[in-house]
Amino acid sequence: MSSISIAIFTDLFLYSVIVPVIPFALTSRAGVAKKDVQHWVSVLLALYGGALVAGAPICGIFANKCKSRRFPLLLGLLALAASTLLLCLGRSLAAMCVGRFLQGLSAAVVWVVGLALVVDTVGPAEIGQMIGYVSISSTLAYFLGPIMGGIVFNRGGYYAVYYMSFGIILLDIILRTLLVEKNVAKQWTINGEPDLVDTPIPDDSHTHGSTVTDLETSTARPPNRHPVVALLSSSRFWSALWCSFVQSIIMSSWDATLPLHVAHLFDFFSLGAGLIFLPFVLPAFISPVVGKYVDAHGTRLPVVIGFLSCVLPLVLLRLVNHSGIRQIVLLCALLAVQGFTWAVTMVPVFVEVTNIVTTMEKNHPGVYGTRGAFAPAYGLYNCAFAAGSLVGPLWGGLVVAKAGWGTMCWSLALLSAVSALPAALWSGGWIFDKNTNGGGVAGMQEMTVGEGLKEAGKEDSKHEKSLPVESKARSVGNYGGP
């Protein structure tokens, strides 16, 4: 877990550490005119998102076929080191663009493979709390990066920022090299018998003995199709992707607009532009608590509350429109509330994706291969998040340039409010389905992935009930059941 947390921290830290530095580097190193800085800041951030969009699905498929999770993680680290070197030495827009694109490819590997490795290690029953701890790492990196970048750039200059970055990469290289996967570690047993960790992980809440319902669930197997097709046939999965997409739009829009807004309004240099991200950080420490709640009670309520509670601070941010201490205090307070809403929504949305895949594996064991559908699911999840990080900087930058800060704030508030609806309807399963309980672990065995798969399961179950006991046992045996 520590290796994955550090890998995610490194990726996001190196993405965000140059957020307050890039506007000044564009003018001093690449010769960009001041009037064009906002445009190129948005383009560079969008390139990162575009690389994530392109790379995440491919990484998901590759990670599912690769025997070792460590190998793709090391490849991602090489891409990250190359991108950091390009950004450090580049004195042209082309070099900066290529560097940002390589960063996006690295992020695709880290997030897809890293999250799949987390599930391999802890299993879905405790995934919420564990993702809470990973979320602390990602949030700290996302918002400490601009703070540290601003401080180091102000005190030590441009290259000092990258010296710090290469030091973190070196630590990450050591940890990824020493990483031991669970399937490897379990082979180092005293009796030398390897543990088959690639089999689907059983649900702890449903192990009270074999009943007819258990057997019927295991026999409801769909056609043997690719896991991506099965996932994309689910309205519930599309809802989770939409929530991830919207979260990313709102978060990444600040990267493109906030440093320039505070520089214009309060005359902040890189130090102040970095420190303004500090209010986002502190609420991240509630993520494990949110994860524990989600494991016990489901995903629907936290996601809906998170999106709705995000609306008011976004609207009130329109009031930050002139200089002064009171305005700085108001801005910091509203950004802290924003950080709280992100902590409430990010963990349950990821757990929702995990629950959907766990349900697929439970209802149709073995159909999606020995490693299951976790890596492809996380590839699609990160693809949606990456699409948001592509749209967010363009949304924020273009709206501010054309219509002003206030318009950007209320437009994001409207987006957040609208997104609460699909979250309420589909998170944890269709809200009007009496078999769903909001997405908690205790109810996962009763929630199917798509309407087509659900109907297939019902038909097979009806057929099983109509058979005599001896015939039913033979039928279960034909499906590979116990």
- The residue that leads in pLDDT, 152 or 65, is 152
**Mean pLDDT (whole number) for 366-380:** 78
The pLDDT tens digits for 297-325 are 999 999 999 999 999 999 999 999 888 99
pLDDT at residue 124 is higher than 70: no
Confidence label for 351 from pLDDT (cuts 50, 70 and 90)? very high
Confidence label for 74 from pLDDT (cuts 50, 70 and 90)? confident
- The residue that leads in pLDDT, 204 or 144, is 144
- The residue that leads in pLDDT, 384 or 369, is 384
Residue 212's pLDDT is what? 33
Q: Reduced to 3 DSSP states, what percent helix, strand and coil does the chain have, rounded to the nearest 5?
A: 80, 0, 20
Residue 436's pLDDT is what? 62
Confidence label for 371 from pLDDT (cuts 50, 70 and 90)? low
The tally of CA atoms less than 13 A away on the side-chain side of residue 373 is 30
419 touches 246 (CB < 8 A) = yes
- The residue that leads in pLDDT, 179 or 142, is 142
Residue 337's pLDDT is what? 94
Residue 444's pLDDT is what? 41
* Neighbouring C-beta atoms of residue 294, cutoff 10 Å: 32
pLDDT at residue 68 is higher than 80: no
Mean pLDDT, the chain, integer: 79
Burial 197-207 (b: 16+ CB within 10 A, else e): beebbbbeebe
Residue 110's pLDDT is what? 86
**Mean pLDDT (whole number) for 63-90:** 84
Give the separation between CA 99 and CA 106, rounded to whole angstroms. 11
Give the separation between CA 327 and CA 356, rounded to whole angstroms. 44
The tally of CA atoms less than 13 A away on the side-chain side of residue 477 is 6
**Mean pLDDT (whole number) for 275-281:** 84
* Neighbouring C-beta atoms of residue 325, cutoff 10 Å: 8
DSSP at 193: P
- The residue that leads in pLDDT, 64 or 169, is 169
426 touches 239 (CB < 8 A) = yes
* Neighbouring C-beta atoms of residue 29, cutoff 10 Å: 17
**Mean pLDDT (whole number) for 344-364:** 89
The pLDDT tens digits for 397-425 are 889 989 999 999 999 999 999 999 999 99
The pLDDT tens digits for 280-300 are 888 888 888 999 999 889 999
341 touches 290 (CB < 8 A) = no
pLDDT at residue 214 is higher than 60: no
First to last CA, the chain: 34
120 touches 182 (CB < 8 A) = yes
394: its two tokens: 């363009």
Give the separation between CA 55 and CA 66, rounded to whole angstroms. 16
